[in-house]
């Protein structure tokens, strides 16, 4: 798992966020396939269809993703972080988090799954951009130039933001899993989290600026396909349905 997370971190430093975040869903179909063989867990026909859709949607995402990075240096990252549009977006996210954590979650969190999902997903606006920013800043830390000290300070700040957001996310993910079914939570969380992360990355890194209409529609279709696949795998995994039973029912009807 540690090696996988290191690979995920390296991917954020080398590839546009709009590609890495949706492709994180590939862990679900591959995990389901491995579990069916190694742990003998049942994977019904809808789960197999979900695996196929997730892989097909991922291929579409790769084909239509941005072909180049919009932010490649620490100086560009600092400029993006101080952009008034991004600062305004962060202020709105912080206000929403304060409202959700201190007022809405205590009263409605245990009965409304969207409360905990919204908190964890909004925190993704900090975790993923921070991860990408740490990778960019780390490239200049070990260089003997005046910008290395600034890069170190920026890296430490982003590490602190990343650590705090992950801790809060873990807390509310655990709370959600205590109150709601993990399959339903996982499917909805993936869609909402990915959507908000893509929004934050689009505002910060402007990765969509070089994407044409055809590629934009292709990525939207790919993300939708992956999301449908995840829902089929997660939500319907306990649904007892297979082609053999369907054939038997059709024979009885005839």
| Amino acid 97: pLDDT | 92
CA distance 100 to 94: 10
Q: How confident is the model at residue 115 (pLDDT cuts 50, 70, 90)?
A: very high
CA distance 253 to 248: 9
Residues 43-55: what's their mean pLDDT? 85
Q: Where are the domains of the chain?
A: 1-67+211-238, 70-208
Reduced to 3 states (helix: H, G, I; strand: E, B; else coil), residue 174 is helix
Which among 115, 132, 138 is positioned nearest to 202, based on CA atoms? 132
Q: How confident is the model at residue 212 (pLDDT cuts 50, 70, 90)?
A: confident
CA distance 87 to 97: 15
The string of pLDDT tens digits covering residues 168-185 is 988 998 998 888 877 778
CA distance 29 to 174: 22
Residue 37, both tokens: 């063989």
pTM of the full structure: 0.77
> CA distances (Å), 161 to each of 49, 97, 138, in order?
39, 14, 16
Mean pLDDT of the chain: 79
Percent of the chain with pLDDT over 70: 85
| Amino acid 143: pLDDT | 66
Position 223 pLDDT exceeds 80: yes
């Amino acid at each position: 798992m540690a090696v996988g997370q290191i690979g995920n971190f390296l991917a954020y430093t080398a590839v546009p966020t709009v590609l890495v975040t949706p492709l994180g869903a590939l862990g679900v179909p591959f995990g389901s396939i491995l579990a069916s063989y190694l742990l003998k867990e049942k994977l019904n026909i809808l789960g197999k269809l979900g695996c196929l859709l997730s892989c097909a949607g991922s291929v579409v995402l790769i084909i239509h993703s941005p072909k180049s990075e919009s932010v490649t240096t620490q100086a560009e990252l600092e400029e993006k972080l101080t952009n008034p549009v991004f600062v305004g977006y962060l202020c709105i996210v912080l206000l929403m988090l304060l409202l959700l954590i201190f007022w809405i979650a205590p009263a409605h969190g245990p009965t409304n799954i969207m409360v905990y999902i919204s908190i964890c997903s909004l925190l993704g606006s900090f975790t993923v951009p921070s991860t990408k920013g740490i990778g960019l800043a780390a490239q200049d830390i070990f260089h003997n130039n005046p910008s290395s000290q600034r890069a170190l300070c920026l890296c430490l700040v982003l590490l602190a933001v990343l650590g705090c957001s992950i801790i809060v996310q873990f807390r509310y993910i655990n709370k959600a899993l205590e109150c709601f079914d993990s399959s339903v939570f996982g499917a909805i969380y993936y869609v909402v989290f990915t959507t908000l992360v893509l929004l934050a990355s689009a505002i910060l890194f402007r990765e969509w600026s070089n994407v044409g209409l055809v590629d934009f529609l292709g990525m939207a279709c790919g993300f939708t396909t992956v999301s449908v696949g995840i829902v089929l795998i997660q939500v319907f995994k306990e649904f007892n349905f297979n082609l053999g039973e369907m054939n038997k029912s059709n024979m009885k009807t005839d």
